[in-house]
Amino acid sequence: MKRYFVYILTNVSKTIYTGMTNDLERRIYEHKQKMIPGFSKRYNLSKLVYFEDATDVKQAISREKQIKGWLRKKKIALIESMNPKWQDLSLNWFAGRDSSLMLRMTKK
């Protein structure tokens, strides 16, 4: 069964970015390595503070749009409901694994 993820990234200034992907680990790696041009790269958004999953792509896209439409206050409440200290949920995902993840990414 395919899985999709809606996620929220932040930086030291607590700027918020909401995205959606079908491979959360790969996508967060891309953000951390600044491989994706645009808002997240420009504002150094690489700290994963929230994510949820869905099994339907339309549901995930709808949820991403819903969250993007919220006021900042509501986004903060969502983050803090799961992660009150705004810790990086992906902090230990890539320790010693950069080469294997890069190999996986080049095969796609």
- What is the structure's pLDDT at 3? 96
Buried b (16+ CB within 10 A) or exposed e, 41-74: eeebbbbbbbbeebeeeeebeebbeebeeeeeee
Q: Which residues pair with 20 in a beta bridge?
A: 6
Nearest-angstrom CA–CA distance, 49 and 84: 9
Q: pLDDT by residue (tens digit) across 76-106? A: 999 999 999 999 999 888 776 555 555 455 4
Q: What is the CATH number of domain 4-106?
A: 3.40.1440.10
25: left (phi over 0), alpha (psi -120 to 50) or beta: alpha
